[in-house]
Amino acid sequence: MDEKPILILQMQRMGDLILSYPLMLWLARRYPGHPIFVAAEKIFYEPLMRLSPQATYFPWSGADVLRKYDFEMVINLSVQAKAAVLAGQVRAETKLGPVESADGTRYVHGDWQLYRTSLVGNNLYNRFHWAELNGLDAISHMEIAATTLSAPRTLPGSNKVGLFLGASDAAKRPTAEFWAALVDELHARSLRPILFGGPAEKDLGLEVVRLAKGPALNLCATLGLDEFGAVGQALGLFITPDTGPMHLAAWTGLKCLNLSMGNVNPWETGPLAPGHYVLRADMDCAKGCWHCTRDSLLCHDPFKPGRVAALARQLLAAPTPGRLGKLELPGLSLSETGKSGLGLYALKRLGKAAPDAERLASDFWQTWFGHLFGLWGEGKPAGAWKRLAESAEETAGSLLAHVPEISRQFKHGLKSGAVLDKSFWAESPPMARPFTGFAHMYLENNDYSRPAWAHVLALLERLVAACR
């Protein structure tokens, strides 16, 4: 082995592993000759190896082997404690993500990895996809922007529609009653539904078949991941919650309609390639949901089987965005995946709805953090702020009105070294939380040192300068 390998630690679920595939490709291009090693859960990576970019996989039981290598770089994408410990133990020129030292202290290395950590419970305005955040500390923005992913295939004349029934959290998926009604609505439009799911969806699949008036081929708990990838090639459309098989389907070129419901944010975990579709409740609490605080899952209510079946019929016909934008979908927003003018992932809302305050605020924070971490110049956040201030004066004003309080607390911390309470960011106005959340995380990550306090004060000055 001439060049030192690069190690990725991805001990999360299948979807997270698949969203690491672009990083593997970027690293292979950026560091030619350096082998890519991946430590992951064997149950997920083994059946997907033929679909994965070239890499050498190690199960957690093989961690001792990894400690014998000298690595060029270690990128820890996992939140598990054992991954941070391993990242601290292996030898590497560069370490990114959570790293735990021998004395048990843990720090997050890398601006973008720290930014992602600050999104926990605080992701309302985030517009960076997880796959991009995996790589931005190690790969240049230009390399990511230049990456072209193939659009999903269209199968002329196909009437087969796959329905993936499950998700890691029940809040993220429709009920059995919804799926059964959708089966019947699809039949009414001469479409053939096929049910998919793993062992966890076995009972759900049986319940859907029992409730549906018409037939549905039930493949729940009958296919491995590799078999699913093969069977999916015959489908014209795949209707799915935000779940690992959705990412597998999108990676293999199967056109997806993502029913984005519950505590997910499609800007972060939607289908990555262009040409897929995301259907989401058009309500404020559904725009950046980390966990539901309502008494009931109100974001499920606008999803009606008849509307989804009608949309499926249109998507199978490969319509133009203009035609899709004219569909009547009360209480829902329909978006197509693609790239923005920044060269990054984007959800392009279909229809004539003007950008609202949340969208304009999200554009500002995306451009501001991108400028802060060196992706582009100051002109982009300045332009985004101008658009926000002109069209959403109240939202922009809530940030400016909170600046004196942020400054007061930062100056007090610089003088006294006091530790901030969680309320510092959690009780900030929503528009201010991307900044207060990141600054709070930065201070914690740097032990509230005097240089750290001085740094966040300087960040505040840069923020104010962008808002002039």
> In 3D, which of 411, 452, 449, 405 has the Cα closest to residue 424?
405
pTM across the whole model? 0.95
Q: Which amino acid, 236?
A: G
pLDDT for 71-110, tens place per residue? 999 999 999 999 999 999 999 999 999 999 999 999 999 9
Distance CA 32, CA 95 (A): 19
What pLDDT, on a 0 to 100 scale, did the predictor assign at position 113?
Answer: 98
pLDDT for 173-190, tens place per residue? 999 999 999 999 999 999
| Three-class SS of the chain | CCCCCEEEEECCCHHHHHCCHHHHHHHHHHCCCCCEEEEECHHHHHHHCCCCCCCEEECHHHHHHHCCCEEEEEEECCCCHHHHHHHHHCEEEEEEEEEECCCCCEEEECHHHHHHHCCCCCCCCCCCCHHHHHHCCCCCHHHHHCCCCCCCCCCCCCCEEEEECCCCCHHHCCCHHHHHHHHHHHHHCCCEEEEECCHHHHHHHHHHHHHCCCCCEECCCCCCHHHHHHHHHHCCEEEECCCHHHHHHHHCCCCEEEEECCCCCHHHHCCCCCCCEEEEECCHHHCCCCCCCCCCCHHHCCCCHHHHHHHHHHHHCCCCHHHHCCCCCCCEEEEEEEECCCCCEEEEECCCCCCCHHHHHHHHHHHHHHHHCCCCCCHHHHHHHHHHHHHCHHHHHHHHHHHHHHHHHHHHHHHHCCCCCCHHHHCCCHHHHHHHHHHHHHHHHCCCCHHHHHHHHHHHHHHHHHCC
pLDDT for 136-181, tens place per residue? 999 999 999 999 999 998 888 889 999 999 988 888 899 999 999 9
Residue 246: pLDDT over 90: yes
State percent of the chain over pLDDT 90: 81
What pLDDT, on a 0 to 100 scale, did the predictor assign at position 59?
Answer: 94
Cα separations in angstroms, 212 against 38, 216, 221, 239: 43, 8, 19, 17
Distance CA 141, CA 294 (A): 38
pLDDT for 284-326, tens place per residue? 777 777 676 776 678 889 999 999 999 999 999 877 778 888 8
What pLDDT, on a 0 to 100 scale, did the predictor assign at position 287?
Answer: 73
Specify the length of the chain in residues.
468
> CA angle, 279 as apex, 225 and 287 as ends, to 5°?
110
What pLDDT, on a 0 to 100 scale, did the predictor assign at position 433?
Answer: 97
Residue 53: pLDDT over 60: yes
pLDDT for 322-341, tens place per residue? 888 888 889 999 999 999 99
What pLDDT, on a 0 to 100 scale, did the predictor assign at position 17?
Answer: 96
- Confidence at 436, pLDDT banded by 50, 70, 90: very high
Residue 40 phi/psi, 5-degree rounding, is -150, 175
Q: At what angle do helices 357-372 and 393-416 cross, to 10 degrees?
A: 40
